[in-house]
Structure 1
Amino acid sequence: MAIALGKPDVDGLHEAVGVLREWQYDGAPMQLHPGDLGWFWRSGAEATAAAVRTWRREGRILAVGLLDGPRLLRLTLAPDVQRDGELARQVVDDVTEPERGVLPEGKVNIETPRGALVQDLLGEDGWNADEPWTPLRRDLTDPVPDPGVRIEVIGPEQAHVCVAVHRSAFAGSRFTDGRWHAMAAGSPYADARCLVAYDDRGNAVAAVTVWSAGPGRPGLLEPMGVHREHRRRGYGEAITLAAAAALQELGSSSALVCTPSSHVGAVATYTSAGFRQRPEVRDQFRGA
Protein backbone atom coordinates (compact mmCIF):
# COMPACT_ATOMS: atom_id res chain seq x y z
CA MET A 1 0.00 0.00 0.00
CA ALA A 2 1.19 3.52 -0.79
CA ILE A 3 2.70 5.56 2.03
CA ALA A 4 1.60 9.20 2.05
CA LEU A 5 3.65 12.10 3.38
CA GLY A 6 1.46 14.74 4.95
CA LYS A 7 1.46 18.00 6.90
CA PRO A 8 -1.36 18.34 9.45
CA ASP A 9 -3.44 21.40 10.04
CA VAL A 10 -3.91 22.69 13.58
CA ASP A 11 -6.73 20.23 14.30
CA GLY A 12 -4.58 17.38 13.00
CA LEU A 13 -1.88 18.16 15.55
CA HIS A 14 -3.95 16.44 18.22
CA GLU A 15 -3.76 13.15 16.34
CA ALA A 16 0.01 13.47 16.01
CA VAL A 17 0.36 14.20 19.73
CA GLY A 18 -1.88 11.23 20.48
CA VAL A 19 0.19 8.71 18.55
CA LEU A 20 3.40 10.06 20.05
CA ARG A 21 1.92 9.38 23.48
CA GLU A 22 1.09 5.81 22.48
CA TRP A 23 4.59 5.16 21.16
CA GLN A 24 6.35 6.00 24.45
CA TYR A 25 7.34 3.03 26.58
CA ASP A 26 10.10 2.11 29.00
CA GLY A 27 12.98 0.51 27.18
CA ALA A 28 12.28 2.41 23.96
CA PRO A 29 15.20 4.19 22.31
CA MET A 30 15.38 7.93 22.90
CA GLN A 31 12.83 9.36 20.50
CA LEU A 32 10.53 12.25 19.69
CA HIS A 33 8.18 12.78 22.64
CA PRO A 34 4.84 14.65 22.81
CA GLY A 35 6.65 17.08 25.08
CA ASP A 36 8.92 18.04 22.20
CA LEU A 37 5.88 19.21 20.28
CA GLY A 38 4.62 20.85 23.47
CA TRP A 39 7.80 22.88 23.88
CA PHE A 40 7.76 23.84 20.18
CA TRP A 41 4.16 25.04 20.68
CA ARG A 42 5.57 28.22 22.25
CA SER A 43 5.79 29.42 18.64
CA GLY A 44 2.02 28.98 18.29
CA ALA A 45 -0.29 26.27 17.02
CA GLU A 46 -0.01 27.29 13.37
CA ALA A 47 3.79 27.27 13.43
CA THR A 48 3.79 23.89 15.16
CA ALA A 49 1.46 22.41 12.56
CA ALA A 50 3.67 23.79 9.79
CA ALA A 51 6.70 22.07 11.36
CA VAL A 52 5.13 18.60 11.67
CA ARG A 53 5.26 15.87 9.01
CA THR A 54 3.44 12.55 9.11
CA TRP A 55 3.73 9.35 7.11
CA ARG A 56 0.58 7.23 6.74
CA ARG A 57 -0.39 3.89 5.29
CA GLU A 58 -4.08 3.02 4.93
CA GLY A 59 -4.92 6.02 7.09
CA ARG A 60 -2.72 5.03 10.01
CA ILE A 61 0.12 7.32 11.10
CA LEU A 62 3.34 5.28 11.01
CA ALA A 63 5.89 8.06 11.58
CA VAL A 64 5.93 11.62 12.89
CA GLY A 65 8.61 14.20 12.26
CA LEU A 66 9.17 17.64 13.79
CA LEU A 67 11.19 20.25 11.93
CA ASP A 68 12.93 21.63 15.01
CA GLY A 69 14.38 24.38 12.88
CA PRO A 70 14.40 24.44 9.08
CA ARG A 71 17.40 22.10 8.82
CA LEU A 72 16.73 19.54 11.57
CA LEU A 73 14.08 16.85 11.34
CA ARG A 74 13.38 14.90 14.53
CA LEU A 75 11.67 11.71 13.47
CA THR A 76 10.21 8.71 15.24
CA LEU A 77 8.18 5.71 14.13
CA ALA A 78 5.54 3.41 15.58
CA PRO A 79 7.21 0.60 17.56
CA ASP A 80 6.02 -2.14 15.18
CA VAL A 81 7.40 -0.49 12.02
CA GLN A 82 10.92 0.43 13.11
CA ARG A 83 12.32 -2.07 10.58
CA ASP A 84 9.59 -1.73 7.93
CA GLY A 85 11.43 -1.60 4.60
CA GLU A 86 8.72 0.13 2.58
CA LEU A 87 8.31 2.87 5.17
CA ALA A 88 12.04 3.35 5.67
CA ARG A 89 12.75 3.76 1.96
CA GLN A 90 9.84 6.19 1.56
CA VAL A 91 11.07 8.31 4.48
CA VAL A 92 14.62 8.35 3.11
CA ASP A 93 13.38 9.44 -0.31
CA ASP A 94 11.20 12.16 1.21
CA VAL A 95 13.95 13.65 3.38
CA THR A 96 16.57 13.42 0.66
CA GLU A 97 14.65 15.18 -2.13
CA PRO A 98 14.11 18.88 -1.22
CA GLU A 99 11.15 19.27 -3.58
CA ARG A 100 9.11 17.01 -1.30
CA GLY A 101 8.99 19.76 1.31
CA VAL A 102 10.70 18.12 4.27
CA LEU A 103 14.35 19.24 4.29
CA PRO A 104 16.00 21.85 2.04
CA GLU A 105 19.22 21.62 0.09
CA GLY A 106 22.53 22.10 1.88
CA LYS A 107 23.57 20.83 5.28
CA VAL A 108 20.67 19.19 7.09
CA ASN A 109 20.30 16.83 10.05
CA ILE A 110 17.87 14.08 10.92
CA GLU A 111 17.31 12.45 14.30
CA THR A 112 15.94 8.89 14.27
CA PRO A 113 15.60 6.24 16.98
CA ARG A 114 18.55 3.91 17.49
CA GLY A 115 17.93 0.67 15.60
CA ALA A 116 15.44 2.09 13.09
CA LEU A 117 15.97 0.92 9.50
CA VAL A 118 15.77 4.55 8.36
CA GLN A 119 19.05 5.15 10.18
CA ASP A 120 20.73 2.26 8.35
CA LEU A 121 19.51 3.38 4.93
CA LEU A 122 20.61 6.97 5.49
CA GLY A 123 24.08 5.67 6.35
CA GLU A 124 24.13 3.62 3.15
CA ASP A 125 23.14 6.74 1.22
CA GLY A 126 26.13 8.66 2.55
CA TRP A 127 24.68 10.48 5.56
CA ASN A 128 27.25 10.90 8.35
CA ALA A 129 27.02 10.71 12.13
CA ASP A 130 27.05 14.07 13.92
CA GLU A 131 28.11 15.03 17.45
CA PRO A 132 27.01 12.69 20.27
CA TRP A 133 24.16 13.32 22.68
CA THR A 134 23.67 11.60 26.03
CA PRO A 135 20.18 10.38 26.95
CA LEU A 136 19.53 9.90 30.67
CA ARG A 137 16.72 8.13 32.48
CA ARG A 138 15.48 7.99 36.06
CA ASP A 139 13.13 5.24 37.17
CA LEU A 140 10.16 6.59 39.13
CA THR A 141 9.16 3.40 40.93
CA ASP A 142 10.65 4.52 44.24
CA PRO A 143 10.06 7.82 46.07
CA VAL A 144 12.06 10.81 44.82
CA PRO A 145 14.14 12.64 47.46
CA ASP A 146 13.06 16.09 48.57
CA PRO A 147 14.90 18.73 46.53
CA GLY A 148 15.72 20.75 49.63
CA VAL A 149 14.50 24.07 48.23
CA ARG A 150 11.14 25.73 47.75
CA ILE A 151 9.46 24.67 44.52
CA GLU A 152 6.43 26.33 42.95
CA VAL A 153 4.24 25.16 40.09
CA ILE A 154 3.97 28.14 37.77
CA GLY A 155 0.57 29.24 36.50
CA PRO A 156 -0.34 31.99 34.03
CA GLU A 157 0.04 34.75 36.59
CA GLN A 158 3.66 33.76 37.32
CA ALA A 159 4.74 33.03 33.74
CA HIS A 160 7.14 35.95 33.81
CA VAL A 161 9.12 34.28 36.61
CA CYS A 162 9.78 31.15 34.55
CA VAL A 163 10.55 33.24 31.49
CA ALA A 164 13.10 35.37 33.35
CA VAL A 165 14.99 32.31 34.61
CA HIS A 166 14.96 30.72 31.18
CA ARG A 167 16.27 33.86 29.46
CA SER A 168 19.09 34.07 31.98
CA ALA A 169 19.93 30.38 31.72
CA PHE A 170 20.08 30.17 27.93
CA ALA A 171 22.13 32.71 25.99
CA GLY A 172 20.19 34.08 23.06
CA SER A 173 16.84 32.83 24.36
CA ARG A 174 13.81 34.37 22.68
CA PHE A 175 11.36 33.04 25.26
CA THR A 176 8.73 35.62 26.29
CA ASP A 177 5.60 35.74 28.40
CA GLY A 178 3.56 35.48 25.21
CA ARG A 179 5.43 32.37 24.13
CA TRP A 180 4.88 30.80 27.56
CA HIS A 181 1.13 31.39 27.22
CA ALA A 182 1.16 29.95 23.68
CA MET A 183 2.94 26.84 25.01
CA ALA A 184 0.47 26.49 27.88
CA ALA A 185 -2.45 26.70 25.43
CA GLY A 186 -1.24 23.66 23.49
CA SER A 187 -2.81 20.25 24.01
CA PRO A 188 0.43 18.62 25.28
CA TYR A 189 0.51 21.07 28.20
CA ALA A 190 -2.60 19.46 29.69
CA ASP A 191 -0.18 16.87 31.10
CA ALA A 192 2.72 19.22 31.79
CA ARG A 193 4.03 21.34 34.64
CA CYS A 194 6.33 24.35 34.76
CA LEU A 195 8.33 24.47 38.00
CA VAL A 196 10.55 27.14 39.53
CA ALA A 197 13.00 26.72 42.41
CA TYR A 198 13.68 29.52 44.91
CA ASP A 199 16.62 30.11 47.21
CA ASP A 200 16.26 31.04 50.88
CA ARG A 201 16.09 34.73 49.94
CA GLY A 202 13.14 34.21 47.61
CA ASN A 203 15.11 34.51 44.38
CA ALA A 204 13.96 32.39 41.45
CA VAL A 205 17.08 30.34 40.69
CA ALA A 206 16.10 27.48 38.36
CA ALA A 207 13.22 26.39 36.16
CA VAL A 208 12.07 23.28 34.33
CA THR A 209 9.10 22.14 32.30
CA VAL A 210 8.04 18.50 32.49
CA TRP A 211 5.83 16.66 30.01
CA SER A 212 3.86 13.53 30.76
CA ALA A 213 2.92 11.08 28.00
CA GLY A 214 0.24 9.56 30.22
CA PRO A 215 0.20 7.17 33.18
CA GLY A 216 2.69 4.33 32.97
CA ARG A 217 4.75 5.97 30.23
CA PRO A 218 8.04 7.90 30.29
CA GLY A 219 7.89 11.64 30.87
CA LEU A 220 10.29 14.27 29.57
CA LEU A 221 12.23 17.23 31.00
CA GLU A 222 12.38 20.01 28.36
CA PRO A 223 13.92 22.45 29.11
CA MET A 224 15.80 22.77 32.42
CA GLY A 225 17.97 25.75 33.25
CA VAL A 226 19.64 27.52 36.16
CA HIS A 227 19.83 31.32 36.39
CA ARG A 228 23.35 32.38 35.46
CA GLU A 229 23.81 34.27 38.75
CA HIS A 230 22.98 31.20 40.84
CA ARG A 231 25.00 28.41 39.26
CA ARG A 232 27.26 25.87 41.00
CA ARG A 233 25.12 25.90 44.15
CA GLY A 234 23.18 22.66 43.62
CA TYR A 235 20.06 24.25 42.16
CA GLY A 236 20.30 22.21 38.95
CA GLU A 237 20.15 18.99 40.94
CA ALA A 238 17.32 20.40 43.10
CA ILE A 239 15.09 21.41 40.17
CA THR A 240 15.82 18.09 38.43
CA LEU A 241 14.67 16.19 41.53
CA ALA A 242 11.55 18.36 41.63
CA ALA A 243 10.93 17.57 37.97
CA ALA A 244 11.18 13.84 38.62
CA ALA A 245 8.78 14.14 41.56
CA ALA A 246 6.30 16.10 39.44
CA LEU A 247 6.36 13.46 36.71
CA GLN A 248 5.86 10.78 39.35
CA GLU A 249 2.77 12.63 40.60
CA LEU A 250 1.51 12.74 37.00
CA GLY A 251 1.83 8.96 36.82
CA SER A 252 4.94 8.72 34.65
CA SER A 253 6.91 5.49 34.88
CA SER A 254 10.26 7.19 34.34
CA ALA A 255 11.81 10.57 33.57
CA LEU A 256 13.88 11.20 30.44
CA VAL A 257 16.22 13.94 29.34
CA CYS A 258 18.83 14.29 26.60
CA THR A 259 21.77 16.69 26.44
CA PRO A 260 24.83 17.12 24.22
CA SER A 261 27.59 14.88 25.53
CA SER A 262 29.93 17.88 25.39
CA HIS A 263 27.85 19.51 28.16
CA VAL A 264 29.61 17.55 30.86
CA GLY A 265 28.20 19.77 33.60
CA ALA A 266 24.63 19.02 32.52
CA VAL A 267 25.34 15.28 32.39
CA ALA A 268 26.82 15.50 35.91
CA THR A 269 23.78 17.42 37.18
CA TYR A 270 21.32 14.85 35.92
CA THR A 271 23.46 12.00 37.22
CA SER A 272 23.59 13.61 40.67
CA ALA A 273 19.76 13.68 40.62
CA GLY A 274 19.58 9.92 40.12
CA PHE A 275 19.44 9.75 36.31
CA ARG A 276 21.45 7.02 34.62
CA GLN A 277 23.22 7.50 31.35
CA ARG A 278 22.07 5.49 28.36
CA PRO A 279 24.09 4.81 25.19
CA GLU A 280 24.96 7.93 23.25
CA VAL A 281 22.90 8.86 20.21
CA ARG A 282 23.84 10.87 17.14
CA ASP A 283 21.92 12.76 14.49
CA GLN A 284 22.86 12.02 10.88
CA PHE A 285 23.72 14.81 8.47
CA ARG A 286 24.40 15.43 4.81
CA GLY A 287 26.08 18.40 3.15
CA ALA A 288 29.04 20.51 4.19
Structure 2
Amino acid sequence: MSISLATPGVDDLGAIVAVLASWQVPEAPVQLHPGDVGWFWSRGPEATAAALRVWSSRDGILAVGLLDGPDLLRVGLRPDHQRDPALAEQVVADAADPGHGVLPEGGVAVETPSGALAHDLLGEQGWGEDEPWAVLRRGLDRPVEDPGMPVETVDTSTAGDWAQVHRAAFGGRLGMAEMRSRWEALAAGTPFREARGLLLRSDRGEPAATIIVWAAGAGRVGVIEPMGVHPDHRGQGYGRAVTLAGAAALRDLGAAAAVVATTAANTGAVATYTSAGFERLPDRRDRCRR
Protein backbone atom coordinates (compact mmCIF):
# COMPACT_ATOMS: atom_id res chain seq x y z
CA MET A 1 0.00 0.00 0.00
CA SER A 2 1.40 3.35 -1.05
CA ILE A 3 0.97 6.08 1.60
CA SER A 4 1.58 9.74 0.84
CA LEU A 5 2.18 12.67 3.18
CA ALA A 6 0.76 16.14 2.45
CA THR A 7 0.20 19.51 4.05
CA PRO A 8 -3.38 20.52 3.27
CA GLY A 9 -4.73 23.84 2.07
CA VAL A 10 -7.50 25.88 3.64
CA ASP A 11 -10.01 24.40 1.21
CA ASP A 12 -9.20 20.92 2.57
CA LEU A 13 -9.96 21.72 6.22
CA GLY A 14 -13.65 20.85 6.09
CA ALA A 15 -12.95 17.36 4.75
CA ILE A 16 -10.21 16.75 7.31
CA VAL A 17 -12.45 17.82 10.19
CA ALA A 18 -15.18 15.49 8.91
CA VAL A 19 -12.76 12.56 8.76
CA LEU A 20 -11.47 13.22 12.27
CA ALA A 21 -15.06 13.38 13.51
CA SER A 22 -15.84 9.98 11.97
CA TRP A 23 -12.98 8.45 14.00
CA GLN A 24 -14.42 9.56 17.38
CA VAL A 25 -16.37 6.38 18.01
CA PRO A 26 -16.90 5.21 21.61
CA GLU A 27 -14.91 2.00 21.17
CA ALA A 28 -11.81 3.76 19.78
CA PRO A 29 -9.01 5.09 22.01
CA VAL A 30 -8.98 8.78 22.88
CA GLN A 31 -7.06 10.63 20.18
CA LEU A 32 -6.77 13.81 18.12
CA HIS A 33 -10.25 15.33 17.92
CA PRO A 34 -11.93 17.92 15.69
CA GLY A 35 -12.06 20.04 18.83
CA ASP A 36 -8.27 20.10 18.99
CA VAL A 37 -8.22 21.44 15.46
CA GLY A 38 -11.03 23.82 16.39
CA TRP A 39 -9.07 25.23 19.31
CA PHE A 40 -6.02 25.69 17.08
CA TRP A 41 -8.31 27.52 14.62
CA SER A 42 -8.13 30.55 16.94
CA ARG A 43 -4.91 31.35 15.03
CA GLY A 44 -6.82 31.45 11.76
CA PRO A 45 -7.59 28.91 8.99
CA GLU A 46 -4.33 29.50 7.14
CA ALA A 47 -2.23 28.75 10.24
CA THR A 48 -4.41 25.72 10.98
CA ALA A 49 -3.91 24.25 7.53
CA ALA A 50 -0.15 24.87 7.72
CA ALA A 51 0.01 22.99 11.05
CA LEU A 52 -1.71 19.86 9.73
CA ARG A 53 -0.13 16.81 8.11
CA VAL A 54 -2.23 14.19 6.35
CA TRP A 55 -1.27 10.60 5.47
CA SER A 56 -3.43 9.10 2.72
CA SER A 57 -3.67 6.09 0.45
CA ARG A 58 -6.09 5.04 -2.24
CA ASP A 59 -8.42 4.14 0.67
CA GLY A 60 -8.56 7.77 1.80
CA ILE A 61 -7.13 9.56 4.82
CA LEU A 62 -5.47 7.17 7.26
CA ALA A 63 -3.82 9.55 9.74
CA VAL A 64 -3.91 13.24 10.61
CA GLY A 65 -1.19 15.06 12.51
CA LEU A 66 -1.46 18.46 14.19
CA LEU A 67 1.72 20.38 14.95
CA ASP A 68 0.52 21.77 18.28
CA GLY A 69 3.63 23.92 18.52
CA PRO A 70 6.86 23.47 16.58
CA ASP A 71 8.06 20.47 18.61
CA LEU A 72 4.86 18.47 19.27
CA LEU A 73 3.03 16.34 16.71
CA ARG A 74 -0.36 15.04 17.80
CA VAL A 75 -1.45 12.15 15.60
CA GLY A 76 -4.93 10.74 15.06
CA LEU A 77 -5.32 7.38 13.30
CA ARG A 78 -8.23 5.73 11.56
CA PRO A 79 -9.56 3.28 14.16
CA ASP A 80 -9.11 0.19 11.98
CA HIS A 81 -5.49 1.19 11.21
CA GLN A 82 -4.18 1.73 14.73
CA ARG A 83 -1.89 -1.32 14.41
CA ASP A 84 -1.31 -1.17 10.64
CA PRO A 85 2.44 -1.80 10.13
CA ALA A 86 2.71 0.11 6.84
CA LEU A 87 0.98 3.19 8.23
CA ALA A 88 2.91 3.10 11.51
CA GLU A 89 6.23 2.78 9.72
CA GLN A 90 5.41 5.69 7.40
CA VAL A 91 4.25 7.99 10.21
CA VAL A 92 7.34 7.16 12.27
CA ALA A 93 9.68 7.67 9.31
CA ASP A 94 8.14 11.05 8.51
CA ALA A 95 8.11 12.21 12.13
CA ALA A 96 11.69 11.12 12.80
CA ASP A 97 13.32 12.65 9.73
CA PRO A 98 13.47 16.46 9.78
CA GLY A 99 13.86 16.40 6.00
CA HIS A 100 10.28 15.17 5.63
CA GLY A 101 8.85 18.50 6.81
CA VAL A 102 7.03 17.32 9.91
CA LEU A 103 9.20 17.87 13.00
CA PRO A 104 12.51 19.74 13.27
CA GLU A 105 15.81 18.46 14.60
CA GLY A 106 16.44 18.24 18.32
CA GLY A 107 14.00 17.67 21.13
CA VAL A 108 10.51 16.84 19.87
CA ALA A 109 7.50 14.76 20.95
CA VAL A 110 4.82 12.67 19.25
CA GLU A 111 1.40 11.95 20.72
CA THR A 112 -0.46 8.90 19.43
CA PRO A 113 -3.58 7.06 20.63
CA SER A 114 -3.01 4.52 23.38
CA GLY A 115 -2.06 1.17 21.90
CA ALA A 116 -0.99 2.57 18.53
CA LEU A 117 1.80 0.67 16.79
CA ALA A 118 3.54 3.94 15.93
CA HIS A 119 4.13 4.53 19.66
CA ASP A 120 5.87 1.14 19.93
CA LEU A 121 8.00 1.69 16.84
CA LEU A 122 9.24 5.06 18.10
CA GLY A 123 10.29 3.32 21.30
CA GLU A 124 12.19 0.72 19.31
CA GLN A 125 14.07 3.59 17.65
CA GLY A 126 15.18 4.95 21.01
CA TRP A 127 12.51 7.54 21.68
CA GLY A 128 11.70 7.81 25.39
CA GLU A 129 8.43 8.56 27.13
CA ASP A 130 7.43 11.99 28.35
CA GLU A 131 5.43 12.94 31.47
CA PRO A 132 2.13 11.08 31.94
CA TRP A 133 -1.15 12.59 30.85
CA ALA A 134 -4.34 11.76 32.73
CA VAL A 135 -7.17 10.81 30.36
CA LEU A 136 -10.70 10.98 31.76
CA ARG A 137 -14.07 9.95 30.32
CA ARG A 138 -17.72 10.30 31.23
CA GLY A 139 -20.51 8.43 29.47
CA LEU A 140 -23.52 10.53 28.52
CA ASP A 141 -26.19 7.88 28.24
CA ARG A 142 -27.92 9.38 31.30
CA PRO A 143 -28.88 12.98 32.08
CA VAL A 144 -26.15 15.10 33.66
CA GLU A 145 -26.61 16.58 37.12
CA ASP A 146 -27.64 20.22 37.31
CA PRO A 147 -24.56 22.39 37.91
CA GLY A 148 -26.46 24.43 40.48
CA MET A 149 -25.44 27.75 38.93
CA PRO A 150 -26.73 29.85 36.02
CA VAL A 151 -24.95 29.00 32.76
CA GLU A 152 -24.42 31.44 29.88
CA THR A 153 -23.53 30.56 26.30
CA VAL A 154 -20.58 32.62 25.13
CA ASP A 155 -21.20 34.78 22.07
CA THR A 156 -19.81 37.99 20.65
CA SER A 157 -21.34 40.02 23.48
CA THR A 158 -19.62 37.95 26.18
CA ALA A 159 -16.42 37.00 24.36
CA GLY A 160 -14.54 39.57 26.43
CA ASP A 161 -15.65 37.86 29.65
CA TRP A 162 -14.49 34.51 28.27
CA ALA A 163 -11.14 36.07 27.35
CA GLN A 164 -10.78 37.55 30.83
CA VAL A 165 -11.21 34.17 32.53
CA HIS A 166 -9.08 32.25 30.06
CA ARG A 167 -6.20 34.73 30.23
CA ALA A 168 -6.24 34.72 34.05
CA ALA A 169 -6.57 30.93 34.30
CA PHE A 170 -3.82 29.99 31.85
CA GLY A 171 -1.58 33.05 31.75
CA GLY A 172 0.30 33.90 28.59
CA ARG A 173 1.38 37.07 26.87
CA LEU A 174 -1.69 37.83 24.81
CA GLY A 175 -3.61 40.98 25.63
CA MET A 176 -7.36 41.12 26.03
CA ALA A 177 -7.96 42.47 22.53
CA GLU A 178 -5.99 39.63 20.93
CA MET A 179 -7.67 37.04 23.16
CA ARG A 180 -11.06 38.29 22.04
CA SER A 181 -9.93 38.17 18.40
CA ARG A 182 -8.87 34.58 18.90
CA TRP A 183 -12.32 33.74 20.23
CA GLU A 184 -13.89 35.27 17.16
CA ALA A 185 -11.57 33.26 14.90
CA LEU A 186 -12.26 29.90 16.54
CA ALA A 187 -16.00 30.62 16.71
CA ALA A 188 -15.95 31.15 12.94
CA GLY A 189 -14.18 27.83 12.33
CA THR A 190 -15.78 24.73 10.86
CA PRO A 191 -15.39 22.60 14.05
CA PHE A 192 -17.28 25.17 16.13
CA ARG A 193 -20.50 24.27 14.35
CA GLU A 194 -20.70 21.41 16.87
CA ALA A 195 -19.28 23.23 19.87
CA ARG A 196 -20.40 25.38 22.78
CA GLY A 197 -18.58 27.95 24.87
CA LEU A 198 -20.06 28.34 28.35
CA LEU A 199 -19.53 30.88 31.12
CA LEU A 200 -20.30 30.96 34.84
CA ARG A 201 -20.34 34.13 36.94
CA SER A 202 -19.83 34.77 40.64
CA ASP A 203 -22.63 36.04 42.87
CA ARG A 204 -21.31 39.53 42.14
CA GLY A 205 -21.54 38.99 38.38
CA GLU A 206 -17.80 38.56 37.81
CA PRO A 207 -16.72 36.07 35.12
CA ALA A 208 -15.58 33.04 37.13
CA ALA A 209 -15.24 29.94 34.93
CA THR A 210 -15.42 28.96 31.27
CA ILE A 211 -15.42 25.81 29.20
CA ILE A 212 -15.51 24.98 25.50
CA VAL A 213 -16.87 21.59 24.49
CA TRP A 214 -16.65 20.11 21.02
CA ALA A 215 -18.93 17.39 19.67
CA ALA A 216 -18.17 15.19 16.67
CA GLY A 217 -21.64 14.12 15.64
CA ALA A 218 -24.43 12.07 17.14
CA GLY A 219 -23.27 8.92 18.94
CA ARG A 220 -19.62 9.97 18.91
CA VAL A 221 -17.24 11.21 21.58
CA GLY A 222 -16.95 14.90 22.47
CA VAL A 223 -13.98 16.63 24.07
CA ILE A 224 -13.35 19.43 26.56
CA GLU A 225 -10.80 21.94 25.23
CA PRO A 226 -10.29 23.93 27.44
CA MET A 227 -11.81 24.49 30.91
CA GLY A 228 -10.54 27.24 33.19
CA VAL A 229 -11.41 28.93 36.48
CA HIS A 230 -10.33 32.47 37.32
CA PRO A 231 -7.75 32.35 40.15
CA ASP A 232 -9.93 34.69 42.24
CA HIS A 233 -12.72 32.10 42.24
CA ARG A 234 -10.93 28.80 42.68
CA GLY A 235 -11.92 26.40 45.44
CA GLN A 236 -15.56 27.50 45.30
CA GLY A 237 -17.03 24.76 43.09
CA TYR A 238 -16.98 26.66 39.80
CA GLY A 239 -14.73 24.11 38.10
CA ARG A 240 -17.06 21.21 38.87
CA ALA A 241 -20.14 23.24 37.96
CA VAL A 242 -18.83 24.42 34.59
CA THR A 243 -17.63 20.88 33.78
CA LEU A 244 -21.11 19.52 34.49
CA ALA A 245 -22.56 22.26 32.29
CA GLY A 246 -20.16 21.27 29.53
CA ALA A 247 -21.05 17.59 29.80
CA ALA A 248 -24.75 18.46 29.61
CA ALA A 249 -24.11 20.59 26.52
CA LEU A 250 -22.30 17.71 24.83
CA ARG A 251 -25.20 15.41 25.63
CA ASP A 252 -27.59 17.93 24.08
CA LEU A 253 -25.35 17.93 20.98
CA GLY A 254 -25.77 14.15 20.73
CA ALA A 255 -22.40 13.04 22.09
CA ALA A 256 -22.18 9.52 23.51
CA ALA A 257 -19.36 10.43 25.91
CA ALA A 258 -17.12 13.30 26.96
CA VAL A 259 -13.35 13.04 27.32
CA VAL A 260 -10.61 15.32 28.54
CA ALA A 261 -6.84 15.06 29.02
CA THR A 262 -4.59 16.96 31.38
CA THR A 263 -1.11 16.44 32.76
CA ALA A 264 -1.21 13.88 35.55
CA ALA A 265 0.74 16.34 37.70
CA ASN A 266 -2.23 18.73 37.56
CA THR A 267 -3.95 17.03 40.48
CA GLY A 268 -6.41 19.90 40.92
CA ALA A 269 -7.77 19.48 37.41
CA VAL A 270 -7.97 15.70 37.78
CA ALA A 271 -9.89 16.11 41.03
CA THR A 272 -12.29 18.58 39.40
CA TYR A 273 -13.08 16.24 36.52
CA THR A 274 -13.56 13.21 38.76
CA SER A 275 -15.88 15.24 41.01
CA ALA A 276 -17.96 15.90 37.88
CA GLY A 277 -18.37 12.19 37.19
CA PHE A 278 -15.42 11.53 34.90
CA GLU A 279 -13.56 8.24 35.29
CA ARG A 280 -9.82 8.11 34.89
CA LEU A 281 -8.53 5.86 32.12
CA PRO A 282 -4.95 4.56 31.93
CA ASP A 283 -2.47 7.42 31.63
CA ARG A 284 -0.99 8.22 28.23
CA ARG A 285 2.60 9.23 27.51
CA ASP A 286 3.99 10.95 24.45
CA ARG A 287 7.12 9.62 22.79
CA CYS A 288 9.93 12.13 22.98
CA ARG A 289 13.35 12.54 21.39
CA ARG A 290 15.62 14.38 23.79
Same fold (TM over 0.5): yes
**RMSD of aligned C-alpha atoms?**
0.9
Counterpart selection for 2:193 from 177, 190, 196: 190
Deviation of the 1:182 alpha carbon = 0.5
How far apart, CA to CA, are the structure 2 residues paired with 1:180 and 1:16? Answer: 21
Residue-by-residue CA offset, 1:197-241 (whole Å, 9 max, x unaligned): 112221110000000001111111100000011100010000000
Q: What secondary structure, in the 3-state scheme, does the structure 1 residue paired with 2:198 have?
A: strand
Bigger shift: residues 166-175 or 129-138: 166-175
For 1:13-32, list aligned pairs within 5 A.
13-32=13-32
1:254 alignment counterpart: 257
Contact 1:159 1:177 in 2 (8 A): yes
1:272 alignment counterpart: 275
How far apart, CA to CA, are the structure 1 residues paired with 2:59 and 2:114? Answer: 26
Deviation of the 1:173 alpha carbon = 5.5
Q: What secondary structure, in the 3-state scheme, does the structure 2 residue paired with 1:55 have?
A: strand
Give the aligned residue type for 2:74. Answer: R
The list of structure 1 runs, each at least 4 consecutive aligned residues, that deviate by more than 2 angstroms after superposition, is: none
Deviation of the 1:139 alpha carbon = 0.8
Residue-by-residue CA offset, 1:13-59 (whole Å, 9 max, x unaligned): 11110110000011321200000000000000000000000000116
2:239 alignment counterpart: 236
Whether 1:221 and 2:229 are equivalent positions in the alignment is: no
How far apart, CA to CA, are the structure 2 residues paired with 1:59 and 1:113? Answer: 21
How far apart, CA to CA, are the structure 2 residues paired with 1:78 and 1:221? Answer: 21
Residue-by-residue CA offset, 1:239-263 (whole Å, 9 max, x unaligned): 0000001001101111110010000
How far apart, CA to CA, are the structure 2 residues paired with 1:115 and 1:230? Answer: 39
Whether 1:127 and 2:120 are equivalent positions in the alignment is: no
2:205 alignment counterpart: 202
Contact 1:73 1:110 in 2 (8 A): yes
For 1:152-191, list aligned pairs within 5 A.
152-172=152-172, 174=174, 176-191=179-194
How far apart, CA to CA, are the structure 1 residues paired with 2:153 and 2:168? Answer: 19
The 1:106–1:17 alpha-carbon spacing in structure 2 relative to 1, beyond 3 Å, is: same
Give the aligned residue type for 1:164. Answer: Q
2:115 alignment counterpart: 115
Whether 1:64 and 2:64 are equivalent positions in the alignment is: yes
Contact 1:166 1:173 in 2 (8 A): no
Contact 1:168 1:227 in 2 (8 A): yes
How far apart, CA to CA, are the structure 2 residues paired with 1:244 and 1:95? Answer: 35
The 1:31–1:173 alpha-carbon spacing in structure 2 relative to 1, beyond 3 Å, is: farther
Deviation of the 1:271 alpha carbon = 0.3
Q: What secondary structure, in the 3-state scheme, does the structure 2 residue paired with 1:69 have?
A: coil
How far apart, CA to CA, are the structure 2 residues paired with 1:202 and 1:27? Answer: 41
Q: What secondary structure, in the 3-state scheme, does the structure 2 residue paired with 1:120 have?
A: helix
Report sequence identity in percent.
56
How far apart, CA to CA, are the structure 1 residues paired with 2:138 and 2:243? Answer: 10
1:73 alignment counterpart: 73
Bigger shift: residues 66-75 or 200-209: 200-209
How far apart, CA to CA, are the structure 1 residues paired with 2:90 and 2:138? Answer: 35
How far apart, CA to CA, are the structure 2 residues paired with 1:253 and 1:61? Answer: 24
Tell me the TM-score normalized by structure 1.
Answer: 0.98
